[in-house]
């Protein structure tokens, strides 16, 4: 069973950058699809980026495309989200998520992620 712990959130000014990290426990991390989701107050939790088990396939929501990069290092059981040119509308709690079972597909729908971290707050001021 995969357990996830996010880090790297914080407060930045618009135009700044942050790199979120998600450390996963478990020896089979490399077999799970991963994603980063975010939830702003009063809004649904949406996928902002996703990556398949190998890192060969990635997905970005239109809202972050061109400004964010998802990557993973299976030797370190870690998935990253590099966010650049941050905007106030990026303010949210960011969650790392993994599928419940090993898969070689790219997962982009929130209900298909069965394991979640507790989240890390990202606040972007104008």
Computed over every residue of the chain, the mean pLDDT equals 96
CA separation for the pair 49, 65 (Å, rounded): 9
| Residue carrying the six token digits 């980026």 | 49
Tens of pLDDT, residues 27-58:
788 899 999 999 999 999 999 999 999 999 99
CA separation for the pair 2, 100 (Å, rounded): 8
CA distances in angstroms from 69 to 20, 87, 102, listed in the order given: 10, 15, 23
* b/e sequence 21-48, b meaning 16+ C-beta within 10 Å: bbbbeeeebbbbbbbbbbeeeeeebebb
Tens of pLDDT, residues 72-124:
999 999 999 999 999 999 999 999 999 999 999 999 999 999 999 999 999 99
Structure tokens at 62: 């239109």
Q: In the chain, what percentage of residues exceed pLDDT 90?
A: 92
CA separation for the pair 105, 98 (Å, rounded): 12
């Amino acid at each position: 069973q995969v357990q996830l712990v996010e880090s790297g959130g914080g407060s930045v000014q618009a135009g700044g950058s942050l790199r979120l990290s998600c450390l996963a426990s478990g020896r089979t991390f490399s077999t799970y699809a991963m994603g980063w989701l975010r939830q702003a107050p009063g809004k649904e939790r949406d996928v902002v980026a996703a990556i398949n088990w190998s890192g060969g396939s990635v997905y970005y929501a239109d809202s972050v495309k061109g400004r964010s990069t998802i990557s993973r290092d299976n030797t370190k059981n870690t998935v990253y989200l590099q966010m650049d040119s941050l905007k106030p509308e990026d303010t949210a709690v960011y969650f790392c998520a993994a599928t419940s079972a090993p898969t070689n597909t790219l997962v982009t729908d929130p209900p298909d992620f069965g394991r979640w971290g507790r989240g890390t707050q990202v606040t972007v001021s104008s």
